A and B are shown apart, each in its own frame.
Chain A
Amino acid sequence: MIDYGKMLSKTVCDIKPSGIRRFFDMLSEMDDVISLTVGQPDFVTPWHIREAAIESLEKGKTYYTSNAGTSELREEISKYMKRRFNLEYCGKNEIIVTVGGSEAIDVCMRAILEPGDEVILPVPSFVCYGPIAEMIGAKVVKIDTKLENSFKLTADELRSAITDKTKLLILPFPNNPTGAILTEDELKEISEVLKDTNIAVLSDEIYAELTYGRKHVSIANIEGMRERTIIASGFSKAYAMTGWRLGYLCGPEPLIKEMLKIHQYAIMCAPTASQFAAIEAMRNGDEDVEMMRNEYNRRRTFVLNGLRKIGIECFEPEGAFYIYPNIAPFGLSSDEFAERLLYEHKCAIVPGTAFGDSGEGFARISYAYSMKHLAQALERIELFVKSLKNR
């Protein structure tokens, strides 16, 4: 008999499977559930972008591109970063086109971290950073961001988490699941802590286009930070292109050069048709992004006000497309709250614990749904909350 335990890498086997899988399995077995769990846009990729990919296929552009992506696309990304965020990256040697923002994160972490190194991670945040660090053998030092700080990372918290083993700070803002952002002033304070160190920053800016009320500022915009910052971003959220699997890394040449090796051997290059679509997105997609941002903002206001009216305490998210309500006052754990809402009222939300222990007492609500869908969901949540209060 084969002993698979001996066959497989212990490091990989030790990674805990996500608890949310069970919840999603329950969800998929039920009918007529109104779900607010999906973390991707409900828009279809704009037609002119899809058309660009179709045209590339019609013309037989089915080859590998260069490892870092077509020079045309890297040039467009360079122009886009300048136009939208006033950041300068050279298309030739400071940009890699990746398979989604996810690969960008993986490549960046693998290029920087070694076994025993420490990586600082503000939580709650997207679920991939911890397991990637574990696979490398690096230690994750979590910082619990707090409701009273609007789920922002503070300079003091960062300072006290740094040791002589710290190699990397992950900066996942605008944040999934909280919707928190960091302003220029807050980034400056964080920069003060970092400036005399050798700590690199992985700034995950996948939601940079989806901020409401104020424009996104990157830590790379802060004086002295560009040379230590790697930006991971992509097309999924801004252009509703999740299935195209296309992202990018921007950073200083000495770092990008090494990251390119990992990308080269693991991936070769990002899908060619997706790259042609992405060129069109960056050239002619600003209006689409604007339209979707406005629509998300309308929904954000609707759900936020709706939840508050029902009597659920909510921090006002300024970015991404999630609301992260505080459900602790109802006296149920996050998992209980989510499971009972699902079973008793057929409405699905993600328990905060899916994003780590710090998510206890919270839940994530995605508003990447039609207004009608959101209105129905709010009605169900209201019924549930009333039933809890009446007990």
Chain B
Amino acid sequence: MDKILQLLEEDATLTAEQISVMLSKEVGDIKKAINKYEKDGVILGYKTLIDWDKTDREYVSAIIEVKVMPQRDRGFDHIAEKIYNHPEVKSLYLMSSGGFDFALIIEGKTMREVAYFVAQKLAPIESITSTATHFVLRKYKDKGVIYGSCEIDERGNLLI
């Protein structure tokens, strides 16, 4: 049934009815499978890709490298939790880099807001020894989708 996952990863707006038609399966079975995926935490949520640059909303994002001193017995997970509980943190990864331990992506309205978050909320977390903030200047591609372009069907309508 991982075909359902492939389809939903591509387009979360597909309905169970549409998926059932694509896969020649019963709607009920598709609904059941999706419910199970959600219950088991395989499917964690559905979001929309938005190009905020095309709207009036102020938006800035940054990638932050974080170096930490792991705590005895608790490893990285405990520190990770302290970081990801901040709603500003959109993504958090433990890295195998030699230079730093965590990479996180944060979003805010302005650079000042992001800077405030780093200085006032992130840096003071116990065990964090240093941070390096990289502001994103432009988003070209995210989750496989190219930003800034519109899809126009320019194929010639010949009788082929």
Q: Measuring CB to CB, which residues of chain A are less than 8 angstroms from any residue of chain B? A: 18, 20-21, 24, 27-28, 35, 37-40, 42, 126-127, 176, 242, 298-299, 301-302, 305-306, 309, 350, 354, 371-372, 375
Contacts and interface: CB of A to CB of B under 8 A. Distances in A.
A375 B155 contact: no
Interface string B51-76: 00000000000000000000000000
A32 to B, nearest CB: 13
B159 A176 contact: no
Chain A: interface secondary structure? helix
A350 B156 CA distance: 14
11 contacts: A20-B159, A35-B157, A38-B157, A38-B160, A126-B160, A127-B159, A242-B155, A298-B7, A299-B22, A302-B18, A302-B21
A40 B24 contact: no
Contact of B153 (A42, A126, A371, A375): A42
Nearest to A18: B159
Contact of A302 (B11, B22, B157): B22
Nearest to A369: B153
A295 to B, nearest CB: 10
A35 B14 CA distance: 21
Contacts of B18: 302, 371, 375
B21 A301 contact: yes
A21 B157 CA distance: 10
Contact of A301 (B13, B24, B158, B160): B24
B21 to A, nearest CB: 4
Given A176-B160, A371-B22, A42 B155 contact: yes
Interface string B1-26: 00000010001011000100111100
Contacts of A354: 159
Chain B: interface secondary structure? loop
B127 to A, nearest CB: 43
Contacts of A305: 21-22, 24
Interface centre among B22, B23, B158, B160 (most CB of A within 10 A): B160
Contacts of B158: 39
B149 to A, nearest CB: 12
Contact of B160 (A40, A42, A299, A306): A40
Nearest to B3: A298
A40 B14 contact: no
A242 B11 CA distance: 27
Contacts of A40: 155-156, 160
Contacts of B24: 301, 305
B157 A37 contact: yes
